[in-house]
Amino acid sequence: MATHRKVLIIGGGITGMCTAIQLRKLQYDVELVEIDPNWRIDGAGITISGPTLRAFKEVGVIADIMEQGACTDNLTIGLANGQVVAQIPTQRVAGPDIPGTGGILRPVLAQILAKATRASGATVRLGLTYTAIEQSNGKVHVTFTDGTSSTYDLVVAADGVTSKTRSLLLPHLPKPEFTGQGSWRAVVPRPAEIQNASFYISKTTKAGINPVSKTEMYLFCLQRMETDEFIPKETWPARLAALLSDFSGVVGQIRDGLNEHSHILYRPLHKLMVAAPWHVGNIVFVGDTMHATTPHLASGAGIGVEDAIVLAQELDRHENIVDAFTAFASRRYERCKLVVDSSVKLGVLENLGTEDAKQEHTQLMMKAVQALAAPI
Ligand SMILES: Cc1cc2nc3c(=O)[nH]c(=O)nc-3n(C[C@H](O)[C@H](O)[C@H](O)COP(=O)(O)OP(=O)(O)OC[C@H]3O[C@@H](n4cnc5c(N)ncnc54)[C@H](O)[C@@H]3O)c2cc1C
């Protein structure tokens, strides 16, 4: 369908950038505003699951990801002492020529997507947000913080889990909820013998590693926490080392190398799953604004990229914008809910730490991974 539309995207995270790229493929006039003047995406590594690799292939950035990240096959599962108990093959969901899983540094992924966004022809305006957003006669009128204003056929809110747009337009929705765990990440050098992702289980803690480039990998570890309080940064190396005290093998080696210069990040985990509809008039919500998950299935960013793909497909299919938004949310809701609900449940089972919980954890993980391999 060749309808020409003028679109504003609020938020230049992974979901917003992929939405800009996909909508430019429809020849829409796309503007993206990002509040951060430096368009930084901080963070450690991010795991790119098979379905997420498939989505990035559709967006058109897979070659850069494979070159600048690390795409690997197989997942190693071991005990805290480093003993390997299983090698699980990862399904090549993105095609026979693309490994089953991957990892990349978040800032590197952000640079790849920012370059592709600009190359798509989208107009990117940094250090900017809106002060007013109003709808009339099937159009959205937006005034920006620099005093400019413009009118759009549709607006895509991709401003993340703490979305100002969601609070403004859907104030009755519950706030994101703390899930009872905190996430630790550390970026460390990748020894040559580390060929794929792995995780190791102690009595109460699961820690793992994933390569993110030819020379780097990241450590991930989840911890049961009573509250989502801020932990002072200067205590992070010692707290993470203490959490990993049971481990030997590769995780133990990483622990022994931690110091005040280590690239460590701690973040309490929250979740949000909003029931459809995901739009208010001609404004639609995508990514973490509607479905923010914990990292247990490494799929939060992936379902944001998929949102971008499906939204573009439905806009292309429907003459009426609201019909497109309705079709979009109905195609996305169950899949995103599967990711959020399963991820949160995996965290609950980890916190229980019993043998029964461990078995249920494995079964749930396998069921979810299989379900997510299905086409979107
Ligand atoms: C600890 C942790 C680990 C994770 N690990 C993985 C993983 O391994 N794999 C995976 O697939 N997913 C993972 N996720 C999930 C993933 O990080 C998120 O789902 C994803 O980053 C969401 O992208 P987004 O673009 O929707 O939102 P965001 O990344 O939050 O982007 C929102 C953007 O909007 C901008 N913005 C905000 N407000 C405004 C405003 N008012 N005006 C203009 N711009 C604004 C922000 O600056 C930001 O750039 C993890 C999440 C956590 C918490």
Residue 236 has pLDDT above 70, yes or no: yes
Contacts (Cβ under 8 Å, ≥6 apart) of 315 = 5, 23, 26, 28, 154, 321, 324, 328
190 and 228 both lie in a single domain: yes
Q: Is 0.85 topped by the overall pTM?
A: yes
Report the pLDDT value the prediction gives residue 2, as an integer from 0 to 100.
Answer: 53
pLDDT at 204 over 80: no
If you average pLDDT over every residue of the chain, what do you get?
A: 96
Residues 53, 148 within the same domain? yes
Residue 252 is predicted with a pLDDT of 96
Render 150-198 in DSSP notation, one character per residue: EEESEEEE---TT-HHHHHH-TTSPPPEEEEEEEEEEEEE--TT--SEE
20 shares a domain with 70: yes
Which ligand 1 atom sits closest to the C-alpha of 302? Answer: 11
pLDDT at position 142 is: 98
Q: What is the dihedral of CA 108, 51, 102, 354, to 10 degrees?
A: 120
Model pLDDT for residues 181-200, shown as the tens digit of each residue: 999 999 999 999 999 999 99
Please tell me which residue, 152 or 362, carries the higher pLDDT value.
152
User: What atom in ligand 1 is closest to the CA of residue 163?
Assistant: 38
Structural domains of the chain, count: 2
Cβ of 42: how many Cβ atoms within 10 Å?
A: 9
Q: Which of 264, 291, 318 is a domain's end point?
A: 264
- Same domain, yes or no, for 133 and 72? yes
- 191 occurs within a structural domain: yes
Residue 124 lies in a domain: yes
| Mean per-residue pLDDT, 220-224 | 94
Does residue 57 sit in the same domain as residue 31?
yes
The residue from 232, 264, 296 where one domain ends is: 264
Pocket of ligand 1 (CB under 6 A): 10-16, 33-36, 46-47, 52, 129, 158-161, 164, 183, 267, 269, 287-288, 295, 298-302, 304
Over the stretch 277-317, which tens digit does the pLDDT of each residue have? 999 999 999 999 999 999 999 999 999 999 999 999 999 99
Domain boundary among 210, 239, 264: 264
Distance 19 CA to ligand 1 centre (A): 14
Look at residue 51 and tell me if it is in a domain: yes
Quick one: which atom of ligand 1 is closest to the CA of 129? 42
CB 159 within 8 A of CB 10: yes
CA distance 117 to 124: 8
User: Are residue 18 and residue 96 in the same domain, yes or no?
Assistant: yes
Mean pLDDT, rounded, for 166-177: 97
**How high is the pLDDT of residue 310?**
98
- Atom 49 of ligand 1, nearest CA residue: 13
Q: Name the residue with the closest Cα to ligand 1, atom 37.
A: 159
CA of 237 from ligand 1 middle (Å) equals: 24
CATH of residue 206's domain is: 3.30.9.30
Q: Is residue 145 part of a domain?
A: yes
Ligand 1 atom at minimum distance from 287 CA: 26
Q: How do residues 54-104 score in pLDDT, each as one tens digit?
A: 999 999 999 999 999 999 999 999 999 999 988 888 999 999 999 999 999
User: What percent of the chain lies above the pLDDT cut of 90?
Assistant: 91
102 and 75 in a common domain: yes
Q: What mean pLDDT comes out for the span 217-221?
A: 97
Query: Whole domain around residue 205: which residue ranges?
Result: 178-264
